Amino acid sequence: LYAVEPDGSDRVRLDEAVTDDPGDGGSNGVAFAAARGRLAYATADGLYVYDRAAKSERVIANRATFGFPPDDPMAGFQGPVWSPDERFLLFAATTKDWMRRGILSTDMAFLFVTPVDGTQWRAISDKALDVAPDKVWAIEPRREPETGRESPTLVSLIWPTP
């Protein structure tokens, strides 16, 4: 993954394992905040934000801050999504340890929201959300109690306010 100016200058290598292709085995997601010129990206090791104007990278969360065992191949961060005002990030995190301890019952991840400075994380769901481009709506799988079947449900995302 590289950050590059529109004219191709100032190429900065951020991470060699990140692409936006979820089928490549190394990608965990990339999200661009156009208004503020920031790029959020996730790897197995952490969640990062690159600020194009400052040419700096900040660690928002990593394995150590979440207490992930260093030898856990399932531990990692995925799918950053910017809030509409680009002040918050939604992301997923998981570790095999959470499943072993019964915190998660499947291979799913917890979804967290954090301010861009990474000072607080708040778990908001243990289900995968398919976030709409407007970042206001999402589809969440819900199990129907009567039938046990999973059905998609439209949910509204309410982002934190300062």
pLDDT tens digits, 135-145: 777 777 777 77
pLDDT(32) > 80: yes
Q: Identify which has the larger pLDDT, 139 or 81.
A: 81
The whole-angstrom separation of Cα 143 and Cα 83 is: 27
Residue 159 burial by Cβ neighbours in a 10 Å radius (0-12, 13-18, 19+)? middle
Report helix, strand or coil for 97.
helix
Mean pLDDT of 103-125: 74
Cα torsion 19, 20, 21, 24 to 10°: value is 20
Contacts of 64 (CB under 8 A, 6+ apart): none
φ and ψ at residue 47, rounded to 5 degrees: -115, 130
Q: How confident is the model at residue 113 (pLDDT cuts 50, 70, 90)?
A: confident
Which distant-in-sequence residues (6+ apart) come within 8 Å of 23 by Cβ?
none
Give the whole-number percent of the chain exceeding pLDDT 70. 73
pLDDT at 23 over 60: no
The per-residue pLDDT for 128 is 66
Please provide the average confidence, as pLDDT, over all residues in the chain: 75
* pTM to 2 decimal places: 0.72
In angstroms, the Cα distances linking 154 to 46, 129, 139 are 29, 10, 5
